[in-house]
Structure 1
Amino acid sequence: MSADATSLLRHRPFLAFWLARVCTASGFQMLTVAIGWHMYELTHNVLDLGLVGLVEFIPRVLFMLHTGHVADRYDRRKVAAICQAGQGLVALALVLGASTGSVSREMIFVLAFLLGSARAFEMPTTQALLPNIVPPGLFPRAVAASASAMQAATIAAPALGGLLYAFGAFWVYAPTALLYLMACTLVLSLPSRQQPATQGKATLESLLAGIRFIRSRPDIFGAISLDLFAVLLGGATALLPVFAKDILLTGPWGLGLLRSAPALGALLMSFWLAHVPIERNVGRIMFLAVGIFGVATIAFGLSTSFWLSLAVLVVLGAADMISMVIRGAFVQLETPDEMRGRVSAVNGLFIGASNQLGEFESGLTAHWFGTVPAVVLGGVGTLLVTGAWIKLFPTLAKRDKLH
């Protein structure tokens, strides 16, 4: 283990931040598995699975400009803690609904909107918080290690959620509420920033500053938009309940393993990147990783073997992690601290679009063309976007170092 990696592990504020990320990521992944399976049991409609993702995404658009200002104006610890408490309340509502048998399609949509609202404020806040916790020399490794927290949770939590769901939805939702409480406590233990980076009330000019900053940096805009369109087209997460139940012929446990597989690949890759960070040819490596992501998506769509599907998803997750770490470190290092919240908010919108809106796109295309064709076409679309972005952003493709 390198000296820098050892120093990072001994950094107490980062460890608290890392554990909080594990808790909140675990809670969200367990909620996602349970809500997806619950909805499919209620309606047996693939379009509803996509609509859940759309409803979660809408708050990112509605509150995009305000989320960044809040992250730059107020104590980021308290903002993150409030968001995590809000997600815990969503879990508690599902606990009550499951215990009384009153969970409905409409209730899931309402709670998905509230969950998406809390996450819309949490994401830019936690992204902007990390550079305040670790010194700049450790930041690229901290990004990889922070990502590993989410991926470690994503490996265990979906599988655990699927297993617990076999005993009833209540046994998934109740532990989730406890995880959010733990995350809230850990975040509040972090050292407080002396004063907010942005003073004064929110104005249209300050709210739009993040958008203007990204537009003025072609490499940042290219990196963020590449992730948007690649994952928007290539993501198949929303359709995993259909693959688990109707194509690969497994139960909730199989769905949990399918959701965990990309995280396993991502976790292994994040451990590698935390100890051996990418320092040269970052542009070429990022584009190559996105291309591998597209190929893996096509392979998953065509697979009828459960174990082959798991293996392909592991490769997909590893490739996505390479792209995410390069993009995350690059964007944060190129952004001044007083702008990080607003830039992270715009970045969060793009990530949300690629994930939640991508789930809606997957559900809609599966409704039109069928589940397998929708996933295969999405992978092909990712490859086409990768080729186009190499031409549109040549300086990004040729970029050698992160900063």
Structure 2
Amino acid sequence: MAAHPFSIHNYRAYWIARLASTLAGLSMVVVIGWQVYDIARETMGIREAAMQLGFVGLVQFLPLLALTLVTGWVADRLDRRWIVRAAIALELGCAAALAWLTQTDTITLPALFGIAALLGVARAFISPAQQALAPNLVPAASLPTAIALSALAWQVGSIGGPAMGGYLYAVGPAAPYWVATALFGVSFLMMMLVTPVVRSTIARIGNPLMQMIEGLHYVRRNRLILGAISLDMFAVLLGGATAMLPIYARDVLMIGADGLGHLRAAPAVGAVAVAVVLSWRPLKTNVGVKMLWAVIGFGIATTVFGWAGPLMTRWFGPEMIGSELAPAVLVSIVALIALGAFDMISVYVRSSLIQLHTPDTMRGRVGSVSTLFISSSNELGEARSGFLASLIGPVIATVGGGIAAILVTALWARIFPELRRARTFDPPASLDNSPPEEIKA
């Protein structure tokens, strides 16, 4: 019987570190967005302030775009543990700086943009190394469960972190940054407890540039992986609504900073509920089709969220908004819960397919390409939402994005039939991605 990953010391420490760093990093995202919008709103109009939200996503994406090939190659050449530790240390410094600037009421837009860019650098290095490290910590028989649990830690942190940031910001503007600093400290200490592991590495001979490009070639040739990560990129790029939440909380639903915490928490409820179900009843059949339907559900939930407040207010009057218990606000929260649930299913399937269909010698470089696609959907999605909201308004931008996500999924199901044909997570028999057998429970 395969050892459970949590029975392995290295994996337990890694999992706690991944969860803590994800919670910390993404709790800061909501606060940075709120502060940028709040500062800009005082001196600019709503649409101009929305454009500043777009720039937040852009400054985090540009370092990733510039460093993708390098970070993947580094993750396949160097000790992945130390790459993760160094990136977490940088994130810790950023969190502490934001906490101090906010506490002393000296925070400015240039400071927020500069630190957001540094967080983009840290993410560029940590993502491929962290993803590729997980399979090195467990024996081959435990690998599928380890990958699922690793995806679970990321998804719970990525949804729960922003919710935590929203609630802590309501307590005090500096509170989420101080908590993030503490969580990064926990994450760093946990990573220091991970002992050396035996793993495969790429050959130290050969052209480094060509080795970097091999990751791109592998993704391009493997249509299942290409279809999975590009579907996620375009669906979230077009349909992502999280960048609009500060605008919806303040100017559409009229529920302020406290209400922003509720909006951020709603996807966490859906994601955690689905994560618990998947931990007991993992998907085993027709995984590709289930991922496609999950992305369609994500688009529908985004559309409902975007329209709920404005339409209900127009039909029934202003009493539909303005408090956490107002009908339009409750409908919006339910839509966001559904959004988080569908997103969890999609992330679970995509992460498992990528890890299990990639050899260990390529995981860093393939992971960096995947991170670029994911960041394109997240950071560029925020930029797209902000810029589009400044041109046509937040409601049309959100609703149009949800509809576009549905159309993209239908198109991808036709362009990449490999997604429809993916019955299980089992890799091809020719692919050897087993970790070294020296790893013990």
TM-score category, normalised to shorter length: over 0.9
2:118 is equivalent to residue 114 of structure 1: yes
Number of the residue aligned with 2:201:
197
- Is the 2:166–2:264 Cα contact (8 Å) retained in structure 1? no
Q: Is the 8 A contact 1:141 1:273 kept in 2?
A: no
- Which of 377, 382, 407 is 1:359 aligned to? 382
Alignment gaps of 5+ in structure 2:
42-48, 310-327, 427-441
Equivalent of 1:31, from 28, 33, 43?
28
Secondary structure at 2:4 match in 1: helix
Equivalent residue, structure 2, for 1:345: 368
Q: Quick check: 2:250–2:256 contact (8 Å CA) kept in 1?
A: yes
Say if 1:107 and 1:177 are closer, same or farther in 2 by CA, change over 3 A. Answer: same
**Aligned partner of 1:332: which letter?**
Q
- Check if 1:326 corresponds to 2:331: no
Asked whether the 8 Å contact 1:281–1:398 carries over to 2, the reply is: yes
Which of 280, 285, 292 does residue 285 from structure 2 map onto?
Answer: 280
Quote the Cα distance in structure 2 between the aligned partners of 1:229 and 1:52. 19
- Residue 206 (structure 1) aligns with: 211
What is the distance in 1 between the residues matched to 2:164 and 2:424?
39
Contact 1:231 1:382 (8 Å CA) reproduced: yes
1:177-216 deviation per Cα after TM superposition (whole angstroms, max 9, x unaligned): 1111110110121131246612437721011010001111
C-alpha contact 1:282 1:402 (8 A) present in aligned 2: yes
Aligned equivalents of 1:310, 1:138: Cα separation in 2: 37
Q: Look up the equivalent residue of 2:292 and give its one-letter code.
A: F
What TM-score do you get using the length of structure 2 for normalisation?
0.87
Quick one: percent identity of the two aligned structures? Answer: 41
Paired residues in the alignment total 400
Q: Deviations over 1:297-331 (max 9, x none)?
A: 10110111222111111111111111111111111
Q: What's the CA shift string for 1:131-153, capped at 9, x where partnerless?
A: 11123333333233223323444
Counterpart amino acid of residue 208 in structure 2:
T
Q: How does 1:1-400 map to 2 (within 5 A)?
A: 7-44=4-41, 45-154=49-158, 156-194=160-198, 197-200=201-204, 203-304=208-309, 305-400=328-423
CA contact 2:147–2:355 (8 Å) conserved in 1: no
Bigger Cα displacement from structure 2, 78-87 vs 93-102: 93-102
Change in Cα spacing, 1:159 to 1:290, as seen in structure 2 (3 Å) is closer
State the secondary structure of the residue aligned to 1:200: coil
Instruction: For 2:274 and 2:214, locate their aligned partners in 1 and report how far apart those are by CA, in whole Å.
Output: 34
TM-score when scaled to structure 1?
A: 0.95
Contact 1:59 1:113 in 2 (8 A): yes
Partners of 1:145 and 1:271 within 8 A in 2: no
Deviation string 1:224-261 (CA, Å, 9 cap, x unpaired) is 11111011001011110001111111122221221222
- Between stretches 252-261 and 279-288, larger displacement belongs to 252-261
Aligned partners of 2:225, 2:167: CA distance in 1, in Å?
41
Paired with 2:120 and 2:287, the residues of 1 have a C-alpha distance of 32
Q: Output the CA distance in 1 between the equivalents of 2:286 and 2:168.
A: 44
Equivalent pair of 1:74/1:196 in contact (CA under 8 Å): no
Q: In the alignment, residue 216 of structure 2 is paired with which amino acid?
A: I
User: Does structure 2 retain, via aligned residues, the 8 Å contact 1:264–1:317?
Assistant: yes
Does structure 1 conserve the Cα–Cα contact (< 8 Å) formed by 2:136 and 2:198? Answer: no
Q: Which moved more, 1:329-338 or 1:195-204?
A: 195-204
In the TM superposition, residue 154 of structure 1 has moved relative to its aligned partner by 4.8
What stretches of structure 1 of length at least 5 have no aligned partner? Answer: none
Q: In the aligned structure 2, how far is the partner of 1:367 from the partner of 1:235?
A: 16
**CA offsets, 1:91-135, max 9 Å, x none?**
111122123322111111111000011011101111001111123
* Amino acid in the other structure paired with 2:190: L
- SS of match in other structure, 1:166: helix
**Offset at 1:61?**
0.5
Q: Is the 8 A contact 1:154 1:260 kept in 2?
A: no
Instruction: Give deviations 1:65-100, integer Å, cap 9, x for gaps.
Output: 001011111111111011011011111111221233
The one-letter code sitting in structure 2 at the alignment partner of 1:283 is G
